Chains A and B, each alone.
Chain A
Amino acid sequence: MRGSGFLKIVLFVLIFHLSCISTPSYSLDVEREVLDNGLTLLIVERHNLPMVVVTVGIRAGSVLEPPEKAGLSNLTAMLLKAGTRNRTAEQIDEEIEFVGGELESSGGYDYITVGLTILKKDIILGLDLLSDIILNPVFPEGEIKKKIKLIKGSLRASEDDPNFVASKAFIKEVFDGHPYGRLIEGSEESLRGISRDDIIDFHRTYYLPASSIIAIVGDITADEARSLISRYFQIWKPGGPTHPRVPSPPRGRGGRTIVIDKDLTQANIIIGHTGVGRDNPDYYAISVMNYILGGGGFASRLMQKIRDEKGFVYDIYSTFSARKYGGAFEISLQTRNESADEAIEEIMGEIERIREEPVSDRELEDAKSFLTGVFPVRIETSRRIADFLVAVEYYGLGMDYIDKYPEYINSVTKEDVLRVARKYIRPEDLTIVIVGDREKLQTW
């Protein structure tokens, strides 16, 4: 593979940035409805294949858990399949897997998701299981213990991934005490403090219909979808208002360099600081600016300079991950220990350049045409569409977002790009994390 870290960025963008939307010729016909209990339902009919995909997003992410119980949100999500009032864990797995379907839950900072992929002929079974695990989980003590043990083991194994080590240190430093600075999985220590009652409470408090979004995409009519979702989710009780205020992340200390010594041939480097939330009006100008700087794969300045000209890296990219309450700006790369210094110096040069000179007309046009043109490529499948719709709804972008996106992007000017580069990239605040062989790293 020639590689560029691109797909990863695509996914990241799709989930967090949502900067990858639409050409004028492509749009989705979305039906939106709010049920009596407050549950938001989004439907897209897509009859190309006899299958149905469902994504449920629930505002029960790790931002809502107390710091000493870090990992609680993720653990609750992971344990939905561990048994319900009607089925044991084994029965749930057996029922879904026997028909070749998939039912998976996963944690997140802002919201957790449960995904179902199933053949049309098994849709009743699929929705029955989906609602059962969301509404009626019982969280058996034995299953909790096993899951905690497994997560702890996985956390340990992740320490062998230098990128994970760098990322963990980076978010901890820049988000400084904010939930975005912790792993959604928590830590070995915080997991120890979580009890079954904590999980039951968390589920009771936050798994509410008014906090949830269901997107259903596939070979099903809107009427059928509405009636099935009502049948399986109408009984979900509304519950009280619950959301504690989640603060925005602090601006961050910044300016520090953290070196983590490991026996590696490459230094894994992350450079960055806090960024913007998804509702920042400059979001689209930032998307264009970041594409030119380091988001655009082989078309980006960082790739051009650090990979193509210098041969320092296989992959380098920059992202603005924009979440509900804030975000991060980061540049990520790996280069052999000996060239870490020079690579960082070149990157600083590019940061300076994008803050000081306007981008060229060509760069601006290329960024716009890519960002507006690539949308269908990125939501090609029903799975991608369902996940995308949940994000659009969660971040309040509006169901006409797809149609409006090109306009948002096309209205960005060279002056905007320069302005947001100056405003949202702050050289004095940059944190640098280096995971590598300290003896071979030159300066650090």
Chain B
Amino acid sequence: MSRCSYTGFFTISMDSLHFLCIPVLLFKTMRRYLAAILFLFLLIQSGCVHALPETRRAEKVSVYEEVLPNGLKVILLRDPSAILAVFQIWYYAGSSNEQIGKSGMSHLLEHMMFKGTHKHKEFSRIIKRVGGIDNAGTSRDYAFYYQKLAPENLHLSIELEADRMQNLLIDPEEVESERKVVMEERRLRYEDDPQGLLYEEVVAAAFKNHPYRWPVIGWMSDLKRITRDDLYGYYRRYYVPNNAFIVVAGDIDTERVLEMIKEEFGPIPPGEDIKRTMIEEPPQSGEKRVYLKKEAELPYILIAYKAPNIFNEDSYALDVLAYILSDGRTSRLYRHLVDQRQMAISVGAGYDNLQRYPFLFYLYGTPMPGRDIKELEDALYEEIEEIKKNGPTEREVQKVKNRIEAEFIISQDSIFYQARLIGIFEVLGDWRLKDRYLEGIRRVTAQDVQRVAKKYLTEDNRTVGILIPKGRGSR
């Protein structure tokens, strides 16, 4: 389900889990998706029902939180209108925890989590047998595992997840075959996808110290060398109750679910405390450029600016800016570069602000055949300069706010997104942070957008990647 193939030219897979997906094609979808799910519980917590008078659902939704003695946090969301239940377990065990030379270990371990314990060899089959769907994802900050199923089958999730938190086999032979699988995944997403590969290059060039610089899937040379013992050590250290939390959502019997969780997870002893050292990325003071030459039909450009995460007030204005630039056909980049000037097939902006450490704000585009990539690059900068000079209009800012408020409501239609939103914010420190998001967006003014464009979208703060198509050469 992690495939991010697109079936038509304009259709992108609706998969909501894009960690390892080729981010370039999906920036827009992803940004919209993230912004949309950002608010899911704002109403519930802040009680600002006046904004959405008809949200009957909000009155009935409740969230309960408890930390077990072994440090495992449990967050339960009861939504009586949900048909499905969702179980998620999150581990603070993403690729930024890896050491140099071991990139990709978090993700490979995620694969191994499906390879069985002494007790249960076939995790997915058990879930599917009851009509459930399960999968997992790894990001820079975390790995998470989920099942979507009928509420009466939640005991299966609880039992199976508690089992694989303690008893994973990590059979050496299975490691070898799964290593090959992940290498195929890497070929699929990066080696054979010029835009995916360029994304890796740009991120690796933008950061010189922070572990965000290596890809979640890992470098091919590292994937070859990770050992079974590396994986087992990593599993033992990070897959412990005090380094995890659980989110359960749906029309659930909260007390009963909590009771079952206590029974299965309660006896698991906590692991050693994991000390996280803050790694700071030194400031950038000059443009960086990378080029990638690959067989391709068309060139492609990806521009990445270092940008703050959600803990910085500026992030709200940057989010609004990303929408103004690329949300919908009335967005500036689409209207000007695709529709009016017809110099690009696709253009967009994206902003990854929901990470534990500051990351990137992007601009990207594919030129119309026959048009020069340099021309597109200059046109993208012109759009940014225009914002810096005159700011957006009041109407543009209002449109984006309306859009974000509407997305907030629409996204609640899926209980899975609701649970995922809680998880994303909990990873950042506290799921209640989500309450601040919509308030933050509402505070943004046209002047704020202009100010953050001037502050972050500068020449010295950017890394520019360009894909240069080449033929098969001597072949």
Q: Which residues of A contact B (CB under 8 A)?
A: 1-8, 10-11, 23, 25-26, 47-51, 90, 93-94, 97-101, 106-107, 117-121, 146, 149-163, 184-185, 219, 262-266, 296-299, 307-315, 334-336, 366, 369-370, 372-377, 380-383, 439
Contacts and interface: CB of A to CB of B under 8 A. Distances in A.
B184 A266 contact: yes
B63 interface: no
Nearest to B296: A160
A383 B114 contact: no
Given A8-B13, A51-B413, A334-B188, A99 B125 contact: no
B180 A263 contact: no
Given A297-B128, A334-B188, A373-B131, A380 B84 contact: yes
A150 B345 contact: yes
B328 A50 contact: no
A312 B133 contact: no
Nearest to A185: B9
B404 A49 contact: no
A314 B185 contact: yes
Contact of A2 (B2, B84, B342): B2
Interface of B: 1-3, 5-11, 13-15, 17, 19-21, 52, 54-57, 81, 83-84, 110-111, 114, 124-125, 128-133, 135-138, 148-150, 176-185, 187-188, 191-195, 294-298, 327-330, 338-339, 342, 345-346, 366, 368-369, 395, 398-399, 402-407, 409-410, 412-416, 472, 475
A374 B54 contact: no
Given A47-B56, A100-B407, A334-B187, A370 B297 contact: no
B402 A98 contact: yes
Given A93-B330, A369-B129, A370-B128, A106 B11 contact: yes
Contact of B329 (A97, A101, A374): A97
Nearest to B115: A308
A311 B129 CA distance: 24
A101 B407 CA distance: 9
A97 B187 CA distance: 38
Contacts of A160: 193-195, 296-298
**Residue from B2, B114, B191, B412 having most chain A Cβ neighbours under 10 A:** B2
Contacts of B124: 297-299
Given A1-B136, A263-B295, A312-B180, A366 B409 contact: no
B55 A296 contact: no
A376 B85 CA distance: 10
A374 B132 contact: yes
A184 B11 CA distance: 13
A77 B409 CA distance: 28
Contacts of B11: 106
B366 A157 contact: yes
Contacts of A107: 8
B184 A314 contact: yes
Nearest to B57: A48
A315 B84 contact: no
Contacts of B110: 1-2
Given A93-B329, A376-B84, A369 B131 contact: yes
A6 B413 contact: no
Given A299-B125, A374-B132, 16 more contacts: A6-B1, A10-B133, A49-B57, A50-B52, A50-B55, A150-B345, A154-B9, A155-B9, A156-B369, A160-B298, A163-B5, A185-B8, A219-B54, A262-B295, A369-B128, A369-B129
B220 to A, nearest CB: 10
B362 to A, nearest CB: 18
A375 B14 CA distance: 17
B192 A3 contact: no
A149 B342 contact: yes
Nearest to B21: A1
| 3 shortest interchain CB distances as A-B pairs | A373-B131, A100-B406, A1-B2
A149 B135 contact: no
B323 to A, nearest CB: 10
Nearest to A369: B129
Contact of A156 (B10, B183, B298): B298
A118 B187 CA distance: 40
A94 B334 CA distance: 13
B402 A99 contact: yes
B34 to A, nearest CB: 16
Given A160-B298, A298-B114, A49 B55 contact: yes
Contact of A151 (B9, B193, B195, B405): B9
Nearest to B182: A314
A1 B137 contact: yes
B1 A93 contact: no
Nearest to B17: A1
